[in-house]
Chain A
């Protein structure tokens, strides 16, 4: 099967670089699967995980906190403000962040605070879910 190069980069450095057969990502408009030779495309991503199916049948999972995917026929780049490989996720930290966000949501202060806490909660929950393997 044809493969395509995937780069996942964040401001703190590259996270992933490899050859895959298919990328499955969740954009704000819905799930997409991208194969090699896809038309050039740009789409914003939801806070979610990206599945990377490799030629040997294995799958890598990377969490992303938003950002977007840029597709070219021979190359796929994912740009996110943060991203981690599933095995590198710090679950303890994510659980703590989740608790903090929940506590903040319960207090309900100004409008912006709620939005930020919700986003933080979504990121933390996403990380925990991915780490535990039930994506």
Chain B
């Protein structure tokens, strides 16, 4: 006979798990809302910077800058944006799989590339597999401000400028909707694909010179691209966790209903058996 108390125990433990996952789901959904707001607040800045960069880089052909020109690639950097904590479904694993696949395809030796890790999960993954991790950020707040990510952004751009590596790819989860995220790969540096924006026909005067402006503008642009990707990644993280926790809560509900059925059956069986025994005993007395 199935042990009644054992089933009861399992029902209770599943119930408490369900409470936790339910709470995490609600926390994630409110964080997601905040993250979406942040991403929205950031859009005007990004658009403006893009506008100006396109106007300068696209308008005057005779400007050149190290960050705009491709050079022979000796070393590649991968900026991988993941999360600090798990329990977010396939959020980290899908991005890590993609990075690993690209690395396996492109490189023979570990000296040909380096990793810039955002998020503890990402760092742990690459450190454990003995890859070169040259910069890392862990413990980013759920609503990162520009100041929080300045360091890694500056590092990423700085090491490109001083020749530590010759190109940078950025991997992050793009937030499509609350239930869907998409692993996105972007070539961050050199900035070769600046699309000229239609309608910005204004020819600017540069004070003091176009080169001097690119000098300050391009790092700022690259840093803001990174910030945008991190904001996007954060929104995806919260939505991925929300979905994962919702599924966990639903599963817990199914398990509880199965277990309750089992429990009631066992209870009924026990009662039936008891009655049979009493009846049998009474019959034996007569």
Bitwise, B98-137 to A at CB < 8 A (1) or not (0) is 0000000000000000000000000000000000000000
Residues of chain B from 1 to 57 with CB closer than 8 A to chain A in the complex: 38, 41-42, 44-46, 48-49, 51-52, 55-56
* Contact between chains at A10 and B203 (CB < 8 Å): no
* Contact between chains at B206 and A42 (CB < 8 Å): yes
In the A-B complex, the 5 residue pairs with the closest CB atoms? A13-B41, A43-B207, A11-B146, A40-B202, A44-B216
Per the bound structure, the CA–CA distance linking A23 and B216 in Å amounts to: 21
Closest residue of chain B to A73 (Cβ to Cβ) is: B202
Residues of B within 8 A of A81 (CB): 146, 150, 220, 223
Per the bound structure, the CA–CA distance linking A82 and B56 in Å amounts to: 23
Q: Is A9 an interface residue (CB 8 A)?
A: yes
If A12-B41, A70-B48, A79-B48 touch, whether A44 touches B213 (CB-CB below 8 Å) is: yes
Which listed residue, B38, B51, B213, B223, touches A43 by the CB 8 Å rule? B213
Which listed residue, A12, A40, A43, touches B42 by the CB 8 Å rule? A12
Residues of A within 8 A of B147 (CB): 82
Residues of chain A from 33 to 91 with CB closer than 8 A to chain B in the complex: 39-44, 66-68, 70, 72, 77, 79, 81-82
Per the bound structure, the CA–CA distance linking A105 and B216 in Å amounts to: 24
* Contact between chains at B205 and A40 (CB < 8 Å): yes
Which listed residue, A28, A40, A66, A79, touches B208 by the CB 8 Å rule? A28
* Contact between chains at B207 and A14 (CB < 8 Å): no
**Minimum Cβ distance to chain B for residue A73 (Å):** 8
A-B contact count (CB 8 A): 83
- Given A12-B38, A43-B206, A79-B48, 9 other A-B residues pairs in contact with their CB atoms under 8 A: A9-B48, A11-B42, A14-B41, A39-B205, A42-B204, A43-B207, A68-B216, A70-B51, A82-B147
Q: Is A92 an interface residue (CB 8 A)?
A: no
* Contact between chains at B205 and A68 (CB < 8 Å): no
Bitwise, B204-220 to A at CB < 8 A (1) or not (0) is 11111000110111001
Q: Is A1 an interface residue (CB 8 A)?
A: no
By a beta-carbon cutoff of 8 Å, the part of chain B in contact with chain A is: 38, 41-42, 44-46, 48-49, 51-52, 55-56, 145-147, 150, 202-208, 212-213, 215-217, 220, 223-224, 227
* Contact between chains at B207 and A70 (CB < 8 Å): no
Residues of A within 8 A of B41 (CB): 12-14
Q: Is A32 an interface residue (CB 8 A)?
A: yes
If A14-B41, A32-B207 touch, whether A79 touches B146 (CB-CB below 8 Å) is: no
A-B contact pairs, 12 of them (CB 8 A): A9-B44, A9-B45, A9-B48, A10-B45, A11-B224, A12-B38, A12-B42, A14-B44, A27-B207, A40-B204, A40-B205, A44-B217
Which listed residue, B38, B42, B52, B203, touches A70 by the CB 8 Å rule? B52
By a beta-carbon cutoff of 8 Å, the part of chain A in contact with chain B is: 7, 9-14, 27-29, 32, 39-44, 66-68, 70, 72, 77, 79, 81-82
* Contact between chains at A10 and B146 (CB < 8 Å): yes
* Contact between chains at B146 and A68 (CB < 8 Å): no
* Contact between chains at A68 and B227 (CB < 8 Å): no
Residues of A within 8 A of B205 (CB): 39-42
Residues of B within 8 A of A77 (CB): 48
Closest residue of chain A to B149 (Cβ to Cβ) is: A11
Closest residue of chain B to A9 (Cβ to Cβ) is: B45
Residues of A within 8 A of B55 (CB): 42
Per the bound structure, the CA–CA distance linking A9 and B42 in Å amounts to: 9
Per the bound structure, the CA–CA distance linking A79 and B208 in Å amounts to: 17
**Most-contacted residue by chain B among A28, A39, A67, A70 (CB, 10 A):** A70
Per the bound structure, the CA–CA distance linking A28 and B212 in Å amounts to: 10
Closest residue of chain A to B202 (Cβ to Cβ) is: A40
If A77-B48, A79-B48 touch, whether A68 touches B217 (CB-CB below 8 Å) is: yes
Closest residue of chain A to B40 (Cβ to Cβ) is: A13
Per the bound structure, the CA–CA distance linking A14 and B44 in Å amounts to: 8
**Most-contacted residue by chain B among A10, A27, A29, A82 (CB, 10 A):** A10
